[in-house]
């Protein structure tokens, strides 16, 4: 077999059954290998390399295993980098294979040559490169194992053209192995239990490793055993059923009064599977010196970033189970405090408080989606202030139902929906995207039509780069608006041109019927929401945008 066949055979052995690609001349033998195995590996072909890696990232986030992403050298690899950065910040397993120049041409500024070890070194978990065709199976297997080990992330494999085309002989394919799990140190657990039992107002931050491990049940058990309140880290609202009495909301860019009150009273922070990202922690300022911190995470480098009182280098499931078995029964005052915060969160998620100026109320729109969409639906949100309407008013009840870039990468949602549809083919896939984000990657609806992926896209169109517009208005006044208003096309016409069904919504009352029709449609569909640029955010005019 040649190097391309060896790579495909290794992917199959390691359980990779989904791939995304913009075809490139630099890796034709791999495409030939995928063609021969197309009944075992399904290949989806987005139209841009950012769509390839965004789709692979969303797949990995929902499926909890890597997809294979294939791009060509130079421009293809640079286009793909946005999805690699997203996967890194979201702790998502992903395998990116980059076709490269022939070995003899390396280091001579060959056509489209880039040093990928330097380029991807700071945003990928690792950059690997086989030195001969015979080494391709070993390198591919190491990449697959590394992508899910410890803190998951993207792994890049560089493939010189002659290495792919070369004869790998009868090389053995490495046997797949299960991800190694890390248990919690008993002494650290004992100290954590002491802090939990002595705290008055403990709050959990539930993060990405809860999602990856599908540890929602273990998290709920811990919340019930300890009486701790639970917040979701940024865009991790599916870590706990939002109706659970412990749930007190999402750590959005904005903080609302009941959350500010909760954090003012909190004396113990328990970070469970969260790297404590900048948004969740308000640029790393939220955790005060007078608060105790228990940090549970499998990556010691992440633990070293925070001066925690107890650092537990462990997967979250065994740590949570050990804590649940050992903590004392919470007192009534702790439960009453938590219940008050949960009630405030429930009230906060009911539309009506925010007065909109336009004809379409995004709060009512999201409430209608919450009412009509099956609970197993996957909700994707692109970057943009419109997403905060979804974050505020949609009630997540099941794990594996939310996908959005913690990195704030625009253009994620539509190609991400392709990946989510591959990871969860029996669930409705609902992508919310702004007009700006859609115009970056919305052409991936063509791929959805071609590959029969019935994604539903809601375009939130206010003819502006909304958050930047508001920031300009606050800083410079209306006279300072510049470069932030954009002219949108007729998105329904665009979608129909791509072969999708489409509806335009200009009033709130029109949405329910349009959404029902989109859900019932057996193929890709788009709803164009015509929004007022004065209704940017579901928060007060003084809040951050």
**What are the residue ranges spanned by the domains of the chain?**
3-165, 186-348, 362-530
Q: How far is CA 199 from its chain centroid? A: 32
Burial-class residue 505 by CB neighbours within 10 Å (0-12, 13-18, 19+): buried
pLDDT digits (tens, 9 = 90+) for 316-337: 999 999 999 999 999 999 999 9
User: Are 537 and 545 contacting, i.e. CB atoms less than 8 angstroms apart?
Assistant: yes
What does the pLDDT average to over 120-134?
97
Dihedral angle sign, alpha carbons of residues 137, 142, 147, 148: positive
How confident is the model over 263-290, as a mean pLDDT? 96
Tokens for 235, please give them: 């865009």
Q: Would the pLDDT of 542 be above 60?
A: no
| For residue 398, pLDDT beyond 80 | yes
Neighbours of 376 (CB within 10 A): 13
- Mean pLDDT of the region 9-29: 96
Q: Over pLDDT 90: what percentage of the chain? A: 88
Lowest mean pLDDT among 363-372, 465-474, 526-535: 465-474
Question: Which CATH superfamily includes the segment(s) 186-348?
Answer: TPP-binding domain (3.40.50.1220)
Which alpha helices (H) appear in 214-299, and where do they start and end? 216-226, 257-265
Token pair listed for 272: 């469970």
Flag whether pLDDT at 68 surpasses 80. Answer: yes
Chain Cα centroid distance, residue 136? 29
Query: Each residue of 137-186: pLDDT tens digit?
Result: 999 999 999 999 999 999 999 999 999 999 999 999 999 999 999 999 99
List 128's β-bridge partners, or say none.
157
CATH 3.40.50.970 matches 362-530: yes
Whether the predicted pLDDT of 101 surpasses 90:
no
Question: Residue 421's Cα: distance from chain center in Å?
Answer: 14
Fold equal for 186-348 and 362-530: yes
Q: Sheet harboring 501-505: ordered strands across?
A: 402-403, 378-381, 429-434, 456-461, 525-530, 501-505
Residue 111 is predicted with a pLDDT of 83
CA-to-CA dists, residue 273 to 44, 62, 317, angstroms: 31, 17, 9
* pLDDT at res. 117: 94
> CA triplet 237, 239, 240: central angle to 5 degrees?
90
- pLDDT at position 363 is 96
How sure is the predictor about 110, in pLDDT bands with cuts at 50, 70 and 90?
Answer: confident
pLDDT band at 545 (very low <50, low <70, confident <90, very high): very low
What is the C-alpha R_g of the chain? 24
| Beta carbons within 10 angstroms of residue 434's beta carbon | 29
List strands edge to edge, sheet with 292-297: 247-250, 229-232, 202-206, 268-272, 292-297, 310-313
Instruction: Indicate the length of the chain as a whole number.
Output: 545
Helices (H) and strands (E) in the chain, counts: 22, 18
**What proportion of the chain, given as a percentage, has pLDDT over 70?**
99
Q: Which CATH number fits domain 3-165: 3.40.640.10, 3.30.930.10, 3.20.20.150, 3.40.50.970?
A: 3.40.50.970
Does the pLDDT at position 540 exceed 60?
no
Q: What is the pLDDT of residue 543?
A: 47
């Amino acid at each position: 077999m040649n190097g391309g066949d060896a790579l495909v055979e290794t992917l199959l052995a390691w359980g990779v059954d989904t791939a995304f690609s913009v075809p490139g001349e630099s890796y034709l033998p791999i495409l030939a290998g995928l063609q021969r195995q197309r009944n075992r590996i399904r290949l989806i072909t987005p139209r841009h390399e950012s769509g390839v890696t965004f789709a692979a990232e969303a797949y990995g986030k929902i499926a909890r295993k890597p997809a294979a992403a294939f791009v060509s050298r130079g421009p293809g690899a640079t286009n793909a980098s946005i999805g690699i950065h997203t996967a890194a910040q979201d702790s998502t397993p992903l395998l990116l294979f980059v076709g490269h120049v022939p070995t003899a041409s390396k280091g001579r500024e060959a056509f489209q040559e880039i040093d990928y070890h330097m380029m991807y070194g700071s945003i990928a978990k690792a950059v690997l490169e086989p030195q001969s065709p015979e080494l391709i199976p070993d390198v591919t297997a190491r990449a697959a194992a590394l992508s899910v080990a410890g803190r998951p992330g993207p792994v890049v494999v560089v493939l010189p053209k002659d290495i792919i085309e070369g004869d790998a002989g009868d090389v053995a394919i490495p046997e797949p192995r299960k991800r190694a799990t890390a248990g919690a140190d008993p002494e650290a657990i004992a100290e954590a239990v002491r802090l939990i039992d002595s705290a008055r107002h403990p709050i959990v931050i539930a993060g990405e490793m809860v999602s990856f491990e599908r540890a929602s049940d273990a998290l709920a058990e811990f919340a019930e055993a300890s009486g701790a309140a639970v917040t979701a880290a940024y865009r991790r609202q599916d870590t706990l059923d939002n109706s659970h009495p412990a749930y007190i909301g999402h750590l959005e860019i904005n903080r609302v009064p009941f959350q500010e009150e909760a954090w003012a009273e909190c004396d113990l922070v328990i970070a469970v599977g969260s790297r404590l990202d900048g948004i969740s922690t308000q640029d790393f300022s939220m955790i005060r010196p007078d608060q105790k911190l228990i940090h549970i995470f499998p990556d010691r480098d992440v633990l070293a970033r925070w001066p925690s009182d107890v650092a537990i280098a462990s997967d979250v499931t065994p740590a949570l189970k050990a804590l649940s078995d050992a903590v004392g029964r919470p007192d009534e005052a702790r439960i009453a405090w938590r219940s008050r915060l949960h009630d405030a969160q429930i009230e906060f998620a009911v539309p009506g408080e925010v007065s909109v100026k336009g004809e379409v109320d995004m709060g009512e729109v999201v409430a209608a989606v919450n009412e009509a969409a099956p609970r197993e639906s996957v909700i994707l949100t692109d970057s943009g202030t419109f997403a905060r309407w979804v974050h505020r008013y949609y009630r997540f009840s099941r794990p594996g139902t939310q996908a959005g870039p913690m990195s704030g990468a625009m253009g994620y949602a539509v190609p991400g929906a392709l990946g989510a549809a591959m990871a969860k083919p029996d669930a409705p896939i609902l992508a919310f995207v702004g007009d700006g984000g859609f115009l970056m990657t919305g052409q991936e609806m063509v791929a959805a039509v071609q590959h029969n992926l019935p994604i539903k896209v809601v375009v939130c169109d206010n003819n502006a780069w909304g958050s930047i517009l508001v920031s300009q208005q606050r800083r410079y006044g209306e006279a300072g608006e510049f470069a932030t208003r954009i002219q949108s096309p007729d998105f329904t016409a665009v979608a129909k041109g791509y072969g999708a069904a489409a509806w335009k919504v200009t009033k709130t009352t029109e949405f329910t019927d349009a959404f029902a029709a989109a859900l019932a449609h057996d193929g890709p569909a788009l709803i164009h929401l015509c929004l007022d640029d004065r209704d940017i955010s579901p928060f007060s005019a003084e809040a951050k945008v």
